[in-house]
């Protein structure tokens, strides 16, 4: 796991090394680039970011890495999910959101709700 300084190396070196480049965005809109291994999990990333908290993010500092959560393509990444499992494109920077949240929703809980058939309507009529 590395920081901004490693993003300065030539792009062909990144492709050969198998590194994964992440741009993490906070709710405030502040961003920071990091470089990780495909074997790093969401938990590993949260711990690394917590231990290497960017200077520009001081106002958003959290008390523990255990409450840092990654969101990728609209879904929370659970702690054991590795970057390699996400099949991120090599040599490109992938954007993820980083939020502070005590607990995560159960996997697929939102998707399951959408799949259930119901005759109930959630519409309202405005007159």
> What's the confidence (pLDDT) of residue 43?
97
Domain boundaries defined on the chain: 20-103
12-15 contacts at long range (C-beta below 8 A, 24 or more positions apart) = 14/90, 14/91, 15/90, 15/91
Consecutive 10-residue runs of the chain (127 residues): their mean pLDDT?
A: 47 59 96 95 97 95 95 94 91 94 69 49 56
CB atoms within 10 A of CB 48: 17
Rounded to the nearest 5°, which phi and psi values hold at 122? -105, 20
> What's the confidence (pLDDT) of residue 100?
93
Contact 60, 32 (CB under 8 A): no
> What's the confidence (pLDDT) of residue 81?
95
The domain made up of 20-103 has a fold known as Ubiquitin-like (UB roll) (3.10.20)
> What's the confidence (pLDDT) of residue 36?
95
> What's the confidence (pLDDT) of residue 102?
82
pTM of the model: 0.70
């Amino acid at each position: 796991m590395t920081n901004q300084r490693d993003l300065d190396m030539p792009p062909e070196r990144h492709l050969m090394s198998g590194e994964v480049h992440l741009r993490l965005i906070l709710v405030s809109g502040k961003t920071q680039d990091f470089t990780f291994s495909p074997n790093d999990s969401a938990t590993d990333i949260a711990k690394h970011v917590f231990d290497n908290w960017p200077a520009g993010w001081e106002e958003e500092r959290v008390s523990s890495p255990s409450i840092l959560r990654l969101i990728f393509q609209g879904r929370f990444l659970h702690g054991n999910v590795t970057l390699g499992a996400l099949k991120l494109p090599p040599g490109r920077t992938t954007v993820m959101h980083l939020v502070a949240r005590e607990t995560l929703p159960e996997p697929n809980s939102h998707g399951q709700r959408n799949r259930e058939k119901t005759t109930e309507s959630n519409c309202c009529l405005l007159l």
